[in-house]
Structure 1
Amino acid sequence: MAFRKDFLWGGACAANQFEGAWNVDGKGISVPDLCTNGTKRNPKCITTEIRENRFYPSHEAIDFYHHYKEDIALFAEMGFRVFRTSINWTRIYPTGMEEEPNEKGLVFYENVFKECKKYGIEPLVTLSHYEMPYALVEKYNGWADRNVIALFEKYCYTVFDRYQNLVKYWLTFNEINGGVTPLGTTLSLSTVRGYEGPVADAPVSPQVRFEALHHQLLASAKVVAYAHEHYPQFQMGDMNVFLTAYPLTCDPEDVLAAQKHNHVINWFCSDVQIRGEYPSYMKRYFKEQGICLEISEEEKEILKRGTVDFYTCSYYMSSCITTHEGEATVEGNLAGGAKNPYLQASDWGWQIDPDGLRYSLNEIYERYRIPIMVVENGLGARDEKAEDGQIHDSYRIDYLRRHIEAMYEATEDGVDLMGYTPWGCIDLVSASTGEMAKRYGFIYVNKFDDGTGDLSREKKDSFDWYKNVIATNGQCL
């Protein structure tokens, strides 16, 4: 058992979840900076201004901003060949509307990427990972206004030019199809103007949701086409949350309901970004939801020109779809579903399904026939130190081992899989709950949900395990 010789092993993080330094060196306020902490039972909230009596975990996070050399050295020790990270838009353009970029922000990412290259690590950079300038939310209601497209283009072209010799692999929007779901809308489209309260309850109409998503799809296509024209060395990818769903029963109604779920949630955005046009099945969905999108011929041409080179996704779990009432349900990443009686779940109720990853990769590759990278996958768990002071996270090793085995089986099935970057390779703030207690990393960070902790880094058992996986190219699990 081994993967292709040039397989990109690594790990993934996001700027707003691990960078910290929220108001340092000219950085502006982004939407995550106004998100409080939360838990599984008490959701994090959005406030329209910083409150002294609330805790905002992204403000310090794990302070990668001041620890990046130490952290990248640890990634290199594990043998990373690729490191997926993102750029905070507000570190480059604090409000998104400045004429000139913030030089100190540009220098920071330049130093990060140079540090990666020093160790032979390729940066894989997400341009927008669940963050945008809050000033654009106040003025435009986020991506609901098409004026934001040009501002996003300016930001992208600035970083393309600055990092053209340091970054080869780019992703436009993180989990762009999350905008189909109400929770994903709040995280990725930031249509939350004037709203205060739990993130999960932010009110956004289906019409506004899909208008905002359409603007993101246009923005993605524009910057991909620009990159292809001006920087032929770039490889441009999309990024989707793959929410694998099976029909709960063999009732044809359940089968049709699962098909509809997969069309809208899993295939819609990637069909646009890879095939270059809106799929026919969305016409009925828009009609049933009372959604009317004005898409000009010029915009259709933009979508055709801006198709991506490779496909990436996050995969954590699967669920079931049913039309039957009274079935048990489970929670999940942006969306839950009916409980699968054959699966176990994590501490946060996410069902664990390695075979679902193999199934999903086969479905994706058969549909698109372009290279695939799994850029998020992992187990959020409550890591506790043992009596010897170490963190023996055998449960994480077991989860990752089984998913790596599933990926290998998918390659044997014929899938062109180019890389794997498990999520939260170093502990960070959870995007879904805003807490540190939900840990994913190979590296433990002494930072806790009350804001305490000295930010020191420690290796978990999974650190050396993953190091050996990379060194043997997946042969030793």
Structure 2
Amino acid sequence: MKTFVAFLLTFALGSADINPRVFPDNFKFGVANAAPQIEGGWDEDGKGETIWDHLAHRHPEKIADGTGPDIASDSYHKYKEDVAMVKAMGLDHYRLSIAWSRILPTGYPDKVNQPGVQYYKNLFKELKAAGVEPMVTLYHWDLPQPLQKELGGWLNESVADLFAEYARICFGLFNDDVKLWITINEPKQVCQSGYGYGELAPAIASSGVDDYVCSRNILLAHAKAYHIYDDEFRETNKGRIAMVIDTIWYEPGSDSPADIEAAERAMQFNYGLYGHPVHIGNWPQVVIDRVAERSRLAGYPKSRLPEFSKREIDYIKGTYDYIALNHYATNMVNASDAPVKDTGYWNDIGILTWRQPQWTGGEGGWFTVVPWGLRSLLVWLKKTYGDIEILITENGYPDKTGVMEDDDRIAYFEGYLSACLDAIYEDGINLTYYTAWTIIDDWEWLGGYTWFMGMHSVNFTDPGRARAPRKSAGWFTDMVKKRCLVKNCVK
């Protein structure tokens, strides 16, 4: 029997709204995970402490259930089982991250941890034998704790240089194993949530100041890694590299010019803050102008937004081989200016966000079920940055029940994949990858083990961390096999 959420999803989408077309031959399906969320083995075989290890151990009250990633899904020991599940589902690629502190325990490049290297070598060997392409992220939020303690983390530009050295080491070590690289996952979350709101590790609250400093340094880190790859490894590796940027889709709350402008401004402050320097050069002009003006009115001697030099603008521009996109939510937007003295990031944007009452979604504002929002976002990316190949690197459905008959998740995937087909065939979007989050339950950051996002469950009370397929795993497997969403496919 379908859950009530699944009923709402099905009702909202309507069977007639599901695109019957077959996915193009070059379209690839996969799943994603991240080292700090699934590996466990937090201090095993020479691995160093990360900012998330540190936060969970020192401040368990910040985690919904007081847990940490010490064991997580235990993929450090059960990676063969995980790869076997990926293979059994007939998937093309598996997105994973390398833990910086498992390769370089202190974060510094003076000592390479060979057991950590061997773990990833073994994992890549397993994927190759299964015929699955690895999509590898170098940084998925897990900064080595010594770099935070000694240098101030991403507030220090020297961390960008250390990341570049770490990237160089990985490019060399795994040159024969990986062809699809991601430098950094979701810089907005690293900076706005980690150094702005103070929610995510390292939990520094300095919105409208330190989050902008972090953004500048993380863009430089990405560019340095990209150029190292381009100059030293591309010829032999023959792969591709980009940075993952996540964003909500912001839909104007009315047809008024003010709300239309506010929605575009929201997109520029969220996606454009990172996409504009990479694709066009420098911060978006609306970001430069608003932060400068609000800084001046608040009495700052200069803009809170740090400048890029001409050399840095040119250095960052063009550092992509594709667009990598994470997407989980849509918001409606109205214009709303905050008092001048309130100089936080969201006050700089000057918007009021809300959601339609019929939308289903999760807690914390990071998730809604609005498939057309993804299609609108894909169209916006093409209009803003040109006809660039787009890879969806995360999209998925969380729940807090862990139900095995997860019809709501099936309806979610059906709706969002239908939106992908609409974008491909109706809008001419060069979309080539869809990566579901995720194949197994994991440690969901501040949510701990209270959020379930896997197409396979993990029993976190079992020392063996037993996996079991949910109904969605079978649905996704069948969909990949027939390469369409309906019974009677249209080619």
TM-score range, shorter chain: 0.7 to 0.9
Aligned residue for 2:41, secondary structure, equals coil
Partner amino acid, structure 2, of 1:153: A
Could you tell me how far 1:381 is from its partner in structure 2? 0.8
Is the CA contact (8 Å cut-off) linking 1:130 and 1:187 kept in structure 2? no
Name 2:410's counterpart in structure 1. Answer: 397
Name 2:63's counterpart in structure 1. Answer: 44
Q: 1:366 to 1:139 in 2, by over 3 A?
A: same
Q: 1:336 to 1:418 in 2, by over 3 A?
A: farther
Question: Any idea what the Cα deviations from partners look like across 1:217-261, whole Å, max 9, x if unmatched?
Answer: 011111112212222212012211121111223343333322211
Q: Does 1:74 align with 2:90?
A: no
Question: Any idea what the Cα deviations from partners look like across 1:101-156, whole Å, max 9, x if unmatched?
Answer: 11111111111111111111111111111110011111111010111112111110
Aligned residue for 1:132, secondary structure, equals coil
Is the CA contact (8 Å cut-off) linking 2:437 and 2:453 kept in structure 1? yes
Matches within 5 A, 1:162-181: 162-179=173-190, 181=192
Could you tell me how far 1:384 is from its partner in structure 2? 4.4
Q: Hey, what's the Cα distance between the residues in 2 that align with 1:137 and 1:84?
A: 26
Is the CA contact (8 Å cut-off) linking 2:195 and 2:214 kept in structure 1? no
Structure 2 counterpart of 1:344, from 360, 376, 388: 360
Question: Any idea what the Cα deviations from partners look like across 1:391-440, whole Å, max 9, x if unmatched?
Answer: 11111000111100000000011000110111122110113x33222111
Q: Hey, what's the Cα distance between the residues in 1 that align with 2:331 and 2:130?
A: 39
Percent sequence identity over matched residues?
A: 28
Between Structure 1 and Structure 2, how many residues are aligned?
Answer: 438
Partner amino acid, structure 2, of 1:393: D
Q: Does 1:149 align with 2:160?
A: yes
Name 2:224's counterpart in structure 1. Answer: 222
Q: Hey, what's the Cα distance between the residues in 1 that align with 2:452 and 2:388?
A: 32
Name 1:317's counterpart in structure 2. Answer: 329
Name 1:259's counterpart in structure 2. Answer: 264
Q: Hey, what's the Cα distance between the residues in 2 that align with 1:134 and 1:377?
A: 29
Is the CA contact (8 Å cut-off) linking 1:156 and 1:223 kept in structure 2? yes
Could you tell me how far 1:281 is from its partner in structure 2? 2.3
Aligned residue for 2:209, secondary structure, equals helix
Could you tell me how far 1:286 is from its partner in structure 2? 2.7
Matches within 5 A, 1:70-469: 70-179=81-190, 181-182=192-193, 185=196, 192=202, 199=203, 202-232=204-234, 233-287=238-292, 288-289=294-295, 290-304=303-317, 307-323=319-335, 337-346=353-362, 350-368=367-385, 369-384=387-402, 391-412=404-425, 413-431=427-445, 433-447=446-460, 454-469=464-479
Is the CA contact (8 Å cut-off) linking 2:402 and 2:452 kept in structure 1? no
Partner amino acid, structure 1, of 2:112: P
Aligned residue for 1:35, secondary structure, equals helix
Is the CA contact (8 Å cut-off) linking 2:322 and 2:390 kept in structure 1? yes
Aligned residue for 1:236, secondary structure, equals strand
Q: Hey, what's the Cα distance between the residues in 2 that align with 1:383 and 1:189?
A: 24
TM-score (norm 2): 0.83
Is the CA contact (8 Å cut-off) linking 1:272 and 1:278 kept in structure 2? yes
Q: Does 1:472 align with 2:489?
A: no
TM-score (norm 1): 0.86
Q: 1:187 to 1:91 in 2, by over 3 A?
A: farther
Partner amino acid, structure 2, of 1:70: E
Range with greater deviation from structure 2 (171-180 or 160-169): 171-180
Q: Hey, what's the Cα distance between the residues in 2 that align with 1:173 and 1:455?
A: 29
Is the CA contact (8 Å cut-off) linking 2:196 and 2:208 kept in structure 1? no
Is the CA contact (8 Å cut-off) linking 2:184 and 2:222 kept in structure 1? yes
Could you tell me how far 1:174 is from its partner in structure 2? 0.7
Q: 1:123 to 1:154 in 2, by over 3 A?
A: same
Is the CA contact (8 Å cut-off) linking 1:62 and 1:455 kept in structure 2? yes
Q: Hey, what's the Cα distance between the residues in 2 that align with 1:370 and 1:188?
A: 33
Is the CA contact (8 Å cut-off) linking 1:211 and 1:293 kept in structure 2? yes
> Normalized per residue, which structure has more helix?
2
Q: Hey, what's the Cα distance between the residues in 2 that align with 1:93 and 1:142?
A: 15
Q: 1:372 to 1:362 in 2, by over 3 A?
A: same
Range with greater deviation from structure 2 (250-259 or 176-185): 176-185
Could you tell me how far 1:298 is from its partner in structure 2? 2.9
Q: CA RMSD in A?
A: 2.5
Is the CA contact (8 Å cut-off) linking 2:250 and 2:263 kept in structure 1? yes
Q: Hey, what's the Cα distance between the residues in 2 that align with 1:293 and 1:237?
A: 23
Aligned residue for 1:62, secondary structure, equals coil
Q: Which 5+ residue runs of structure 2 have no aligned equivalent? A: 1-20, 296-302, 338-350
Q: Hey, what's the Cα distance between the residues in 2 that align with 1:348 and 1:210?
A: 23
Q: 1:186 to 1:75 in 2, by over 3 A?
A: farther
Aligned residue for 2:69, secondary structure, equals helix
Aligned residue for 1:426, secondary structure, equals coil
Is the CA contact (8 Å cut-off) linking 1:380 and 1:439 kept in structure 2? yes
Name 1:195's counterpart in structure 2. Answer: none
Name 2:54's counterpart in structure 1. Answer: 34
Aligned residue for 1:171, secondary structure, equals strand
Q: 1:365 to 1:187 in 2, by over 3 A?
A: farther
Aligned residue for 2:447, secondary structure, equals coil
Is the CA contact (8 Å cut-off) linking 1:131 and 1:188 kept in structure 2? no
Q: Does 1:6 align with 2:34?
A: no
Q: 1:336 to 1:437 in 2, by over 3 A?
A: farther
Partner amino acid, structure 1, of 2:51: V
Range with greater deviation from structure 2 (207-216 or 284-293): 284-293
Name 2:18's counterpart in structure 1. Answer: none
Partner amino acid, structure 2, of 1:210: Y
Q: Hey, what's the Cα distance between the residues in 1 that align with 2:331 and 2:469?
A: 32
